[in-house]
Structure 1
């Protein structure tokens, strides 16, 4: 496997909550309906994950945030489910696997993404 891109992001949970209160329409554009049902700290972690993924994909214009969703597998590990514009960019780069690590503690949420191709 070859590393195609790496991205990381850090998000203040308080800042995320303030933005959600000021601009609820932005939250609807960023998070999927299932992600909107999560706690503010988990939402902030998902925003950080989407930002990290965009960086790993080269931050191209035109990707829709709702075209990727962070879900958990049967063991609780987070991973991306891609579609539409985000899947198209991953396909364009030949990405076959995406590693994701997210965490939130001490008022901050963070994410690390590594994209690989075979």
Structure 2
């Protein structure tokens, strides 16, 4: 059963300017393993984190570093959730989080669907 859906779009040029203007954004928004990626990949990951928040609704105690976008051996993206966000997802009975993201034509976008077992 679908628990939530979230989507987010990030303007690539604007995001790159933000990273250049405020280098500390990398440390504030991204896990250490994500920080070495290029601006376009970071923009897609930022969109993914925003889409996750939207799919969950109210997210008290959210910390950017508690959400990491990872890829499996096939290159498929997913989330690693830690601390309060992992506890929140578990408390809401969410068993699966689907993630799709891309960047093209000057934008990065992400789509998230959360699922829980039927009551």
TM-score range, shorter chain: over 0.9
Q: Unaligned regions of 5+ residues in structure 2, if any?
A: none
CA distance in 2, matches of 1:83, 1:77: 20
CA contact under 8 A between 1:8 and 1:113: conserved in structure 2?
yes
In structure 1, what is the Cα distance between the partners aligned to 2:58 and 2:64? 12
- 2:59–2:85 contact (8 Å) kept in structure 1: no
Matched pairs, number: 117
Task: Indicate the structure with greater helix content.
Answer: 1
TM-score, normalised relative to structure 1: 0.94
Per the normalisation by structure 2, the TM-score is 0.93
Q: Which residue does 2:22 correspond to in 1?
A: 23
> Aligned with 1:24: secondary structure?
coil
1:1-118 pair list within 5 angstroms: 2-118=1-117
Gaps of 5+ in 1: none
- Distance across 2 between alignment mates of 1:59 and 1:11: 21
What is the Cα-based RMSD across aligned positions, in Å?
A: 1.0
